[in-house]
Amino acid sequence: MEAMAPAVWVKKDLIGIRDLSRGEIEMILDTAPQFLAVSKRASGIKKVPLLQGRLVVNWFHEPSTRTRTSFELAAKRLSADTLSIAASSSSSVKGETLHDTLANIEAMRADIIVLRHGCAGAPHILAAAHASHIINAGDGRHEHPTQALLDVFTMRETLRRQRGNPELGLDGLKVAIIGDIEHSRVARSNIHALTKLGASITLCAPATLLPRGVERLGVAQTTRLCEALADADVIYALRMQLERQSRGLLPSIREYVKLFRVDRDSLRYAPDHAIVMHPGPINRDLELSTEVADGTRSVILQQVTNGVAVRMAIMHLLANSGGARRARESQAS
């Protein structure tokens, strides 16, 4: 049995979806709409003072445009001060350890650290040893929890609109995740989030890009795209991580396009109501045809809009809930 929704948020950090209960995931999803309303204000100021006087540090050791700007905007819309540290210009290139760099950032009284790192587990190790709130913005192939939360939020909002029911959850939703699952922290976090919320998942990829042991996570898998799309409510295409294809896991990109690309032809196998999602950045016409990426089924830009609101909700819950404050104080004492 999943734990019931806790009355208050108690976790200091957001490290992975695997650590969250269904209740905690739902608390984030239920907090986000008020922040979406702030971002969508047609007139007036797109800001609330919930993190006024607090310092949010974006600390990115890997390239990112979308996630970094989304966090920065979320912090600014909460009225926080923001600071960005790029790994290439930080003292890590001079040999400083992550712990020392973070201790120095904390000595300047940072409150929230948004960390992206190539090593799986880096945010977890820092969170256990430091008092600031750590948010994992992607660690190696491990997890990308805020991406999964904005994804399930987008699925829930779309489903509620499509079916005219503002209370609907994701129980029974069928999601096909297609592409480079082997290298994808986005897929891993989404698998955890969707299974906890009661959705069912089919992974579809060439056999070499389906990680071994993935069936233990309670998902179906297939190497035939038509099979994955047949009853999908949501089609989630992943970016082909060309920079990580060092071991020749694909015979050819042309073959991948022919067999696995989500395009007008392959979409014929999917139900009419199925929506198309992608975490970005898109390799246009490789995993997704331009026509579909920009078409009426695509909610890709809604994912980006929702991402800011979901990240505002997360930062607000971590930094402002009584439970989180108490956890921090007991850790300090």
Q: Is 160 a catalytic residue?
A: no
CB atoms within 10 A of CB 328: 16
Q: How far is the CB of 271 from ligand NCD (least distance, A)?
A: 26
Instruction: Out of 22, 117, 144, 311, pick the active-site residue.
Output: 144
Catalytic annotation on 224? no
Please tell me whether the peptide bond between 279 and the residue prior to it is cis, using omega within 30 degrees of 0.
Answer: no
Q: What's the distance, CA 327 to chain centroid?
A: 25
By CB under 6 A, residue 288 contacts ligand NCD: no
- Applying CB under 6 A, among 58, 82, 147, 195 the residue interacting with ligand NCD is 147
Q: Does 66 bind ligand NCD (CB under 6 A)?
A: yes
Strands 234-237 vs 174-178: parallel, antiparallel or unpaired = parallel
**179 belongs to the binding site for ligand NCD (CB under 6 A):** no
Strand 200-204: give its sheet, edge to edge.
Answer: 220-222, 200-204, 174-178, 234-237, 275-277
144 in catalytic set: yes
User: What mask of x and - would describe binding to ligand NCD in positions 217 to 246, judged by CB under 6 A?
Assistant: ----------------------x-x-----
According to DSSP, the β-strands at 234-237 and 81-86 are unpaired
Both ends of the chain: CA-CA distance in Å?
A: 34
- Report the residue from 16, 145, 206, 279 that binds ligand NCD according to the rule CB under 6 A: 279
Q: Does 186 bind ligand NCD (CB under 6 A)?
A: yes
**Residue (280 or 323) nearer to ligand NCD, CB:** 280
Complete DSSP assignment for 172-233: T-EEEEES--TT-HHHHHHHHHHHHTT-EEEEE--GGGS-TTGGGGS-EEES-HHHHHTT-S
Q: Is 67 among the residues known to form the active site?
A: yes
- Shortest CB 138 distance to ligand NCD, Å: 5
Measuring CA to CA, which residue among 192, 213, 216 is closest to residue 142?
192
Is 145 near ligand NCD (CB under 6 A)?
A: no
Using rule CB under 6 A, residue 304 touches ligand NCD: no
Count of residues that interact with ligand NCD, criterion CB under 6 A: 11
**Alpha helix locations (H) across the chain?**
22-39, 66-77, 98-107, 122-129, 145-163, 185-196, 225-229, 253-260, 264-267, 290-293, 300-320, 322-332
Near ligand NCD by CB under 6 A: residue from 144, 196, 261, 316? 144
Query: Which one from 31, 67, 82, 195 is the annotated catalytic residue?
Result: 67
Q: Which of 23, 280, 295, 323 binds ligand NCD (CB under 6 A)?
A: 280
Active site residue 146: no
Residue 262 gets which letter from DSSP?
A: B
Q: Least CB distance from residue 105 to ligand NCD, whole Å?
A: 22
Q: Output 16 or 138, the one with its CB closest to ligand NCD.
A: 138
Q: Characterize the bridge pairing of strands 200-204 and 174-178.
A: parallel
Contact positions toward ligand NCD, by CB under 6 A?
Answer: 66-67, 138, 144, 147, 185-186, 239, 241, 279-280
* Catalytic machinery residues: 66-67, 94, 116, 144
